[in-house]
Amino acid sequence: MRPILKNMSNTTFTMIKPDATGKGYTGAILDRMIKAGFAIKAMKWTRLTKEQAGAFYAIHKERPFYGELVDFMSSGPIVAAILEKENAVADFRKLIGATNPAQADQGTIRKDFAASVGENAVHGSDSDENAIIEGNFFFSQLERF
Ligand code: UDP
Ligand code: MG
């Protein structure tokens, strides 16, 4: 039996970004995540409006790349997902690699599928707190299993 109060350090949130969905990498990227031990708790194929992308990345509003980021993230479909694994946030950041694919380690998702620091194939939450906020941005309780 699962405990009623789930340990949220065991979940993270991801998006496969429009560059990667557009290049047909969705299946290969999901396969990497699953093979690394992440279980899918919620998942959807969708497309963000500019307003939604702006709200999701509001934390970066003052950064010089914010406008470009919002344009890019609303430019095509994404896959949003909540993933579960022990130590999910840290282990997932390791799996995706550095923000800039040129600096990402061999074997990471960004090294193998990302083109640039902006169009970097995947998102991964940076903390347990943000994993919860980001998961709630996309999914209701009825969409999680
Ligand atoms: N980004 C960008 N230029 C930069 C830094 C970031 O376009 O110089 C984009 C990139 O898509 C990145 C996102 O903004 O994934 C969020 O930036 P963050 O620093 O949170 O990187 P992440 O957590 O995604 O590795
Ligand atoms: Mg980040």
Which pLDDT tens digits describe the chain residue by residue (145 residues)?
A: 555 445 568 999 999 999 999 999 999 999 999 999 999 999 999 999 999 999 999 999 999 999 999 999 999 999 999 999 999 999 999 999 999 999 999 999 999 999 999 999 999 999 999 999 999 999 999 999 9
Q: What are phi and psi of 97, to 5 degrees?
A: 90, 180
Q: What angle do CA 80, 108, 15 make, to 5 degrees?
A: 10
Ligand 1 contacts CB of residue 65 (under 6 A): yes
Q: Select the CATH number that applies to the domain covering 11-143 from these four: 3.40.50.300, 1.10.569.10, 3.90.320.10, 3.30.70.141.
A: 3.30.70.141
Contacts of 48 (CB under 8 A, 6+ apart): 56, 73, 74, 78
Pocket test for ligand 1, best of 15, 59, 63, 69 (most atoms within 8 A of CB): 69
The alpha carbon of residue 123 and the mean position of all alpha carbons in its chain are separated, in whole angstroms, by 3
Whether the model clears a pTM of 0.85, i.e. scores above it, the answer is: yes
Listed by start position, the domains of the chain span: 11-143
Q: Which ligand is nearest to the CA of 69?
A: 1
Specify the ligand 1 atom closest to the Cα of 59. Answer: 20
Residue type at position 144: R
